[in-house]
Structure 1
């Protein structure tokens, strides 16, 4: 499952690492858009396969944040 940015935003925190096992609903990152911080949660149970962002990165809509399988 690809986790992608839905709007222009900035990465505030990445709360998991590659190889971590996560449950559906686990907070995996925090982004900031329009001065509002929004937690991103895993949409599935799985393992973090890749992380494509770092704290401070600016994201465009559709940018890949991480892959959870």
Structure 2
């Protein structure tokens, strides 16, 4: 399942790496927009098979941040 950004922002911090096992609600990355930190969370439990962003990347609304294989 693709996890997408809900807004245009800069990736401030990548919290998990590819291969990590995550639960629904776990933070994947933290975005920064207008001096606010906005977490992007896993919408399902599973294994992170792809991390498509890195720190300081500029992303747009709808960009895929990560891909999770359901548990």
Report the TM-score range of the alignment, normalised by the length of the smaller protein: over 0.9
CA distance in 1, matches of 2:35, 2:55: 16
CA distance in 1, matches of 2:44, 2:51: 16
Q: What residue in structure 2 maps to residue 58 of structure 1?
A: 58
TM-score (norm 2): 0.90
TM-score (norm 1): 0.92
- Give matches, 1:1-69, under 5 Å: 1-69=1-69
Count of residues paired in the alignment: 69
Gaps of 5+ in 2: none
